[in-house]
Amino acid sequence: MASQTKEKSETNSPVIAMRGAGYYSANTVGAKAVIDAAADLVLEALESMPLKGTTPFAIADYGAADGGTSIDMMRKAIARIRKDAPERQIAITYTDLPHNDFSVLFQLLQGLLPAFKENPLALQPNVFTFGSGMSFYRQIFPDQTISLGFSATAMHWLSKLPLQISDHTHAVGANPEEKRELRKAALADWETILLHRAREMAPGAKFVFANFCEDEKGHYLGHTGGVNMHDTFAKHWRNLMRDGTITEAEYKRANFVQFYKTKDEFVAPFDDPNSAVSKAGLVLEKAFTRTTGCPYAAEFQKKGDAVAFAKSYVPTLRSWSESTFMGGLDPSRPQHERMAIVNRFYDAYEAEVAASPEGHAMDYVHCFMVVAKKA
Q: Is 220 helix (H, G, I), strand (E, B) or coil?
A: strand
Nearest in space to 95 (alpha carbons), one of 56, 58, 134: 134
pLDDT digits (tens, 9 = 90+) for 142-154: 999 999 999 999 9
Rounded to whole angstroms, the maximal C-alpha distance in the chain is 65
CA 139 distance to own-chain centroid = 18
Alpha-carbon dihedral sign for residues 21, 26, 30, 36: positive
Nearest in space to 218 (alpha carbons), one of 269, 182, 186, 263: 263
Provide the pLDDT for residue 29.
67
Which helix (H) or strand (E) segment holds residue 213: the answer is strand 201-214
Compare 20 and 367 and report the one with higher pLDDT. Answer: 367
Provide the pLDDT for residue 33.
83
Taking a C-beta distance cutoff of 8 angstroms, is the pair 164, 255 a contact? Answer: yes
Domain assignments of the chain as residue spans, ordered by start: 23-373
pLDDT digits (tens, 9 = 90+) for 300-350: 999 999 999 999 999 999 989 999 999 999 999 999 999 999 999 999 999
Half-sphere exposure of 330 (CA within 13 A, CB side): 11
Q: What is the DSSP letter of 169?
A: S
Q: What share of the chain is helix, strand, coil (3-state, %, to 5)?
A: 45, 20, 40
For residue 20, with 0-12 CB atoms within 10 Å meaning exposed, 13-18 middle and 19 or more buried, which class applies? middle
- Model confidence, pTM: 0.91
Phi-psi region of 220 (alpha: psi -120 to 50; beta: other; left: phi over 0): beta
Q: Please name the fold of domain 23-373.
A: Rossmann fold (3.40.50)
Beta bridge partners of 55: none
AA identity, residue 92: I
CA distance 289 to 113: 34
Q: Is 322 helix (H, G, I), strand (E, B) or coil?
A: helix
Provide the pLDDT for residue 14.
52
pLDDT digits (tens, 9 = 90+) for 96-132: 999 898 999 999 999 999 888 988 999 999 999 999 9
pLDDT digits (tens, 9 = 90+) for 158-204: 999 999 999 999 999 999 999 999 999 999 999 999 999 999 999 99
Q: In residues, how long is the chain?
A: 375
Provide the pLDDT for residue 115.
83
Cα 86–88–92 angle (5° rounding)? 115
